[in-house]
Structure 1
Amino acid sequence: MQKITSLPADDSMPGWFHTSPARTPRPEHVGQKKARWGIVGAGLTGLAAARQLALNFPDDEVVLIEAQEVGYGSAGRNAGFAIDVPHDIGAKDYIGDVTIANRVLRLNTLGQDYLRQIVQENNIQCQMSASGKYQAAVGEQGIAILEAYRRGLAKIGRDAEMIAGKDLPDHIGTSYYKQALFIPGTLLLQPSALVKGLADNLPANVTLYENTPITSVDYGNTITLMHERGAITVDTLILANNGFASHFGFLQRRLLPTFLYGSLTRPLTEAEQAALGGKPVWGVIPAHPFGSTIRRTVDNRILVRNSFSFQPDGRPREKHLRQFIENHRKSFERRFPMLPQVDFEYTWSGAICLSENHEGFFGKLAPNVYGALCCNGLGITRGTATGKLLADMIAGERNELIDFLTASPGPNLTPREPFLSVGVNSVLKWGQFRAGLEV
């Protein structure tokens, strides 16, 4: 019997969740249930796996279990960039091995295409926009990164346009940045609205239970997932719960649940929109990986996302939320002096699952247990793609991308506590300090 030692406990003001269309959550599970297929985690990976598994096995029931309400957890708390191109921060040109980069590009594109198809077929209102992304730099070090990245993108046949600082206000309003690399393939969207819409348009043979946190698991020929009001027994289990997989007994000391913090303003008035200028929808990724991500949304809000903390139990801390909102305020004021009266309406934390070697896990964890875990910050595209491909692999399919994923060595083993937390948080603080004015 595996006791689950930590459960999600996200803070209460995720802006994307509260500004997305309201929905009626599916009921929590009560009593006893048996099914052939079970999936833990109704984020992007779990939703994709459930959809594809249901299509591959139309005569079987697929049970999808979510500890909270769909759209409230990590999948609804990211910055809303569905990115196609690879970005290997360990390589000088941010591309590295061209063969691997091309496979990552195919993987991310698969995730994009799968989402785009579902959104269009089901008319999911998630503000999806083919707006591309701006990789923007404040100083000379950042500009050098952009130049290297442009050369790397050319190796894999991806066009990118370098935009001088004097021209950037026509694109993003602010004159804060000195140069930007515009990469056209990124989709921007409202992440909580996306996952809510995906959940409400699953195939008929998927049964979704929300607000059903699993408290223990009995692994064996069948797998029994227990919670406070009952139990669900399945023949095959898929874990799509990222950092919480370690609390289910797998990949222990290999997953790094790391929190990023975001703030979302109230909607800009017409006068404020005019004062800002630029395009009506855009997204900025920092040249330095520890800088600020900034977005202008379809509903005329500004998102600021920066600051990091590592929490091995996968649960955020209120003290960090209070601390980092000041960072958001400073970042906003530096970029948007023309918007002095615009306040933040929402501030929240959101977890990403990282590994020390930037590798995820894909495949079989144990008899009758599979996982698609650890997206290293690319949850929208990579999570969607790996969820779909895992369901295809279980159904017997093999292809180049499945082979690529199963060949991965998986996440590295990390030091024991307390050395792990001290080391990771020191790296995060040093990275944010080095980012300087890009924060």
Structure 2
Amino acid sequence: MYRNTSTPADDDGCGWFHLSPPRHARPAHSGRTKARWVVLGAGFTGLAAARQLALKFPQDEIVLIEGQQVGYGASGRNSGFAIDLPHDIGAPDYIGDPATARMNLKLNHFAQSMIRTWVADYSIDCQLRSDGKYQAAVEDKGLAVLQAYRSGLDKLGQPYEMIDARDLPEHLGTSFYRQALYTPGTMLLQPAALVRGLADNLPANVSLYENTVITRIEQGDKITLLHADGEFVADELLLCNNAFASHFGFLPGRLLPVFTYASMTRPLTEEEQARLGGKQAWGIIPADPFGTTLRRTPDQRLLVRNSFSFNASGQAQQRFLDRAARQHRTSFDRRFPMLANTPFDYTWGGSMCMSRNHLSYFGSLAPNVYAALCCNGLGITRGTATGTLLANWLAGEQDELTAFLLSSPGPNRNPPEPLLSLGVNLNLNWGQRRAGLEA
């Protein structure tokens, strides 16, 4: 028996969620339901896994369970970068081992292709654009990172453009940065709108239950998932709930729910847009992993994302949100003095499932229990790819991408509590201080 030790509890400030096209959440579950397949977690990974299982097993009923509303949790709270390139923040050049990098590149392209197809086939209004991304730097150490990343891209034969300070305002409006490395393959999108659109276009043999919090999992001849108003009885269980898997006793002491925080302005007026200048939509990731991510959205809002905390429970904490909001104001005004004090309409936090060695988990966890977990900050592409490939593998299919994922040793062990929380938060605070003007 696996008893849940923490349940999802995100804050209500996510701009992406509140600005996404309206939808009616599917009803919560009650009673007793039997199914061959149960997928726990309806984010990018779980939605992809349930969809692919339905296609591979058209005669089977697939149950998809979400503890909150679809799009309210982590998948709807990121910055909306569907990144094509390897993004190994543990490697000096963000690339790491070239052979591994090439496989990650194939995984990301595989995911991007599926996202494009789904958005087109179901007419999902999620602001999908192929605008690429800028990795920008202002500190000397950030400039060094760009040069290292450039050398890694050369090894992979991937296109890029180095843009100097004098030319950056034409692209971004702001003259804050000293250099940027532009890569054209990243897709930018509205993440909550995408997952909510996918949830409303699932195959007919997928039953989605929202606002259904599983409190206990029992294993026997069948797998029973219990909640306050009933239970599910499954032959096979897929865990696609990232760090919350550890609260059921799976991969204990290996997953790290690291929260990061974002604020989003009201729409800029036409006069403010003219004052800012630059392109009408873009995305910036920082050269320093502890720096500031920025988006200019198609509806002319500016998003600023930085600040980190380790919340072992996986739940939002107001004190961290308040601290981040203050940093967002400083970071925004520093980059956009021509728009200083433009009010934020929304401020929110969201968790990333990380591991100390930056590796994911893919495959079997226990008899008839399988998982695709821990995207290490690349949830849109990695979650979409691994959810789909996990379903393919369970259908008896295996290709080079599946073999690559199965060969991974997975997340390594963390120190025990309370050393873990103390150490991770100290490291996060130090990293943010050390980022300097990149923050």
TM class by smaller structure: over 0.9
Match of residue 197 from structure 1: 197
Separation of aligned partners in 1, 2:247 and 2:139: 42
Q: Are 1:213 and 2:213 matched, yes or no?
A: yes
What is the CA deviation profile of residues 384-403 of structure 1, one whole-angstrom value per residue up to 9, with x for unaligned ones? 00000000000000111101
Q: How does 1:236-251 map onto structure 2 within 5 Å?
A: 236-251=236-251
Cα distance, 1:92 vs. partner? 2.8
Cα distance, 1:377 vs. partner? 0.2
Deviates more, 1:338-347 or 1:393-402: 338-347
Match of residue 136 from structure 1: 136
Match of residue 348 from structure 1: 348
Separation of aligned partners in 2, 1:68 and 1:344: 25
The answer as to whether partners of 2:173 and 2:278 remain within 8 angstroms in 1 is yes
The answer as to whether partners of 2:139 and 2:436 remain within 8 angstroms in 1 is no
Amino acid at match of 1:359: L
What is the CA deviation profile of residues 18-39 of structure 1, one whole-angstrom value per residue up to 9, with x for unaligned ones? 0111100001111110000000
Q: TM-score, normalised by structure 2?
A: 0.99
Separation of aligned partners in 1, 2:300 and 2:331: 18
Separation of aligned partners in 1, 2:89 and 2:313: 26
Q: How does 1:235-274 map onto structure 2 within 5 Å?
A: 235-274=235-274
Cα distance, 1:417 vs. partner? 0.3
The answer as to whether partners of 2:35 and 2:234 remain within 8 angstroms in 1 is yes
Separation of aligned partners in 2, 1:314 and 1:96: 29
Separation of aligned partners in 2, 1:220 and 1:159: 52
Cα distance, 1:13 vs. partner? 1.0
Amino acid at match of 1:54: A
Query: Number of paired residues?
Result: 439
Separation of aligned partners in 1, 2:329 and 2:107: 36
Cα distance, 1:87 vs. partner? 2.0
- Summarize the Cα distance change of 1:267–1:159 in structure 2 as closer, same or farther, 3 Å threshold: same
What is the CA deviation profile of residues 291-340 of structure 1, one whole-angstrom value per residue up to 9, with x for unaligned ones? 00000001100000000000111112111111110000000000011113
Match of residue 433 from structure 2: 433
Separation of aligned partners in 2, 1:76 and 1:178: 31
The answer as to whether partners of 2:16 and 2:191 remain within 8 angstroms in 1 is yes
Amino acid at match of 2:75: A
The answer as to whether partners of 1:45 and 1:372 remain within 8 angstroms in 2 is yes
Match of residue 83 from structure 1: 83
Match of residue 27 from structure 2: 27
Q: Give the root-mean-square deviation of aligned CA atoms.
A: 0.7
The answer as to whether partners of 1:64 and 1:209 remain within 8 angstroms in 2 is yes
The answer as to whether partners of 1:221 and 1:368 remain within 8 angstroms in 2 is no
SS at match of 1:29: coil
What is the CA deviation profile of residues 226-246 of structure 1, one whole-angstrom value per residue up to 9, with x for unaligned ones? 111110111000000000000
The answer as to whether partners of 2:352 and 2:377 remain within 8 angstroms in 1 is yes
% identity of equivalent residues:
62
The answer as to whether partners of 1:294 and 1:305 remain within 8 angstroms in 2 is yes
Q: How does 1:21-420 map onto structure 2 within 5 Å?
A: 21-420=21-420
Separation of aligned partners in 1, 2:114 and 2:209: 23
Deviates more, 1:89-98 or 1:133-142: 89-98
Which aligned segments of 4 or more residues in structure 1 are displaced greater than 3 angstroms?
Answer: none
SS at match of 1:181: strand
Cα distance, 1:341 vs. partner? 4.4
SS at match of 1:135: strand
The answer as to whether partners of 2:9 and 2:315 remain within 8 angstroms in 1 is yes
Deviates more, 1:219-228 or 1:67-76: 219-228
SS at match of 1:166: coil
Separation of aligned partners in 2, 1:320 and 1:92: 29
SS at match of 2:259: strand
Separation of aligned partners in 1, 2:133 and 2:387: 25
Separation of aligned partners in 2, 1:285 and 1:238: 32
Separation of aligned partners in 2, 1:96 and 1:363: 24
SS at match of 2:429: helix
Separation of aligned partners in 1, 2:255 and 2:89: 19
The answer as to whether partners of 2:90 and 2:358 remain within 8 angstroms in 1 is no
**Unmatched 5+ residue regions in structure 1?**
none
Separation of aligned partners in 2, 1:220 and 1:368: 10
